[in-house]
Amino acid sequence: MNEMATTVVTAGDKAFAWGALLLVASMRRNGMRHPVVVGAMNWPDSMKRRVEALGDVKIHDLPLSRQCVACQKPMLMACDDVKTDWVCWADSDAVFVGNCSEWLVGDDLEEIVVRKYDPPPPLLTEERLAIWRRDVEKLCGTALGESRLGNTTVNNPFIVIHRKWRPFLERWRVQTERVIAPDVITPWQKGSAYFQTDESVLGSLLCFDPNAPRVVERYKANGSVDKNRYFAHFAYNPKPWQMWNKYSMKWHDVVAPVAEWLVENDIVKAGELPLPLRESWWPVCRAAAPLAPWVWRAMKLKRKLLG
Ligand SMILES: [Mn+2]
C-alpha cells in the first residue's frame, strides 16, 4: 500500500479534540497506518495522550495567540514533521469510512486534490474576486488576468498535495497572515473578501497565482468512486460528539463504530466518552436531534452572557 507516501495533517482547538481523536481512530481502525501530525490548540493532556496512543502521531501545540486553528493549515502541512512525498489535510470534524489510502495520494504531481464549489458560493462576488486578484498580485508580483477557476473557488476540508509544492504552501501561509486579521478566531467571516478565511486564501491563490497547482478535475474522496470508502465530513454545528442534529444523524452509523473501537482498544474508557458518542444515549440523542440547533444556540448565548 501507499501508506508511507502520505502524512495526514489535522488540527483543532479544545472543542475539536474529540473530533481529531475520532478522525485518527477511524484511520487506524480501517488499517490506514499513515503518519499523522495534529495541531492542538489548548487541549487537555489526557486528549493528547489518547491521540498519541494511536501510534505514529506527532502533536504540535498551537499557541492561543494565533489566528484561528484553520488558518494554521498551510503551516502544519509544510512543517518538517511531514517527511513523506505527499501530504493530506483532513478536517478534524470528519472520519474516514473504509480504507481510504488510495485517495491520499494524487494521480498527478502537478495537481492539488481539493473540491471545487459547484455551484459557486454566493458570497464570492466579482468585487471579491477582484480583491483576491489584487492581493495575489501584491504577494507574487504578478497575477493571472482571468481566474483559473472561473467564478468559483474551492472547499477545503480534504486536500492532497505533493511536497514539491511547499513553496506554494508557504505563499498560502504568508498570504493568510497578511489578509486575515490577527484576532480572527472563527473560520466564517461573512463580511470579508476572505469570507472563509484560510479556505478563501487558498482559493485566491488557486485562481490567480501563476505558479499554483492545477485543481484536480475529479474529486474522488467523497464516495463518487467507491461508496464504501470515503471521507465523511460533518459540515454543520453542533458536531456529532457535541450533540446530534437532524443533519448529522445520518453519520451516526459511521461514527458509532469508531467510538466503540476506541473503547475496545482501551484508548478511552466507556464512561469517558461524551454522551452523544455512547450507544446507550443514542435513543435520547436521536429524539432530541430536532431541538439541537435551539439548544446549541441557547448554550452559546449562555456562554456569551456568563463569559
Ligand atoms: Mn470541517
Query: What CATH number does residue 49 fall under?
Result: 3.90.550.10
96 part of a folded domain? yes
Residue 216: pLDDT band (50, 70, 90) is very high
Single out the residue of 244, 250, 251, 226 nearest to residue 296, CA to CA: 244
Rounded distance from Cα 236 to ligand 1 centre (Å): 8
Rounded distance from Cα 96 to ligand 1 centre (Å): 13
Residues 248 and 140 in one domain: no
Residues 241 and 139 in one domain: no
Q: pLDDT tens digits for 25-34?
A: 999 999 999 9
Residues 297 and 188 in one domain: no
Task: Give me the mean pLDDT over the 125-135 stretch.
Answer: 98
Rounded distance from Cα 167 to ligand 1 centre (Å): 25
Give the structural domain span for 271.
Answer: 237-306
Query: Percentage of the chain with pLDDT > 90?
Result: 83
Joined grid coordinates for residue 152: 468559483
Q: Which of 63-67, 169-173, 280-284 has the highest mean pLDDT?
A: 169-173
On the question of pLDDT at 103 being above 60, the answer is yes
Joined grid coordinates for residue 204: 485566491
Q: pLDDT tens digits for 166-211?
A: 999 999 999 999 999 888 877 888 889 999 999 999 999 999 999 9
Rounded distance from Cα 93 to ligand 1 centre (Å): 5
Residues 90 and 209 in one domain: yes
Residue 3: pLDDT band (50, 70, 90) is low
On the question of pLDDT at 2 being above 80, the answer is no
Rounded distance from Cα 277 to ligand 1 centre (Å): 18
On the question of pLDDT at 156 being above 80, the answer is yes
Rounded distance from Cα 144 to ligand 1 centre (Å): 29
Rounded distance from Cα 73 to ligand 1 centre (Å): 12
221 part of a folded domain? no
Rounded distance from Cα 91 to ligand 1 centre (Å): 5
225 part of a folded domain? no
Do the strands 36-41 and 6-13 form a parallel or antiparallel pair, or are they unpaired?
parallel
Residues 66 and 162 in one domain: yes
Rounded distance from Cα 135 to ligand 1 centre (Å): 26
229 part of a folded domain? no
Task: Give me the mean pLDDT over the 270-291 stretch.
Answer: 93
Do 254 and 261 contact (CB within 8 A), yes or no?
no
Residues 41 and 187 in one domain: yes
* Burial (0-12, 13-18, 19+ Cβ within 10 Å), 269: exposed
Residues 92 and 188 in one domain: yes
Residues 70 and 141 in one domain: yes
Task: Give me the mean pLDDT over the 135-141 stretch.
Answer: 98
Residues 136 and 248 in one domain: no
- Count of domains for the chain: 2
On the question of pLDDT at 284 being above 60, the answer is yes
223 part of a folded domain? no
Do 1 and 28 contact (CB within 8 A), yes or no?
no
Residue ending a domain, among 215, 245, 273, is 215
Residues 23 and 165 in one domain: yes
Tell me which residues have their CB within 5 A of the ion that is ligand 1. Answer: 91, 93, 157
Residue 303: pLDDT band (50, 70, 90) is confident
Q: Provide the CB-side half-sphere exposure for 281 (13 A, CA).
A: 18
On the question of pLDDT at 149 being above 70, the answer is yes
Concatenating the DSSP letter of every residue in 62-114 gives PPTTSS-GGGGHHHHHTSTT--SSEEEEE-SSEEEES--GGGGS-S-TTEEEE
Rounded distance from Cα 8 to ligand 1 centre (Å): 15
Torsion-angle region of 181 (φ positive above 0: left; ψ -120 to 50: alpha; else: beta): beta
Determine the Cα–Cα distance for residues 21 and 19; give it in Å rounded to an integer: 5
181 part of a folded domain? yes
Q: Which of 40-54, 181-195, 239-253 has the highest mean pLDDT?
A: 40-54
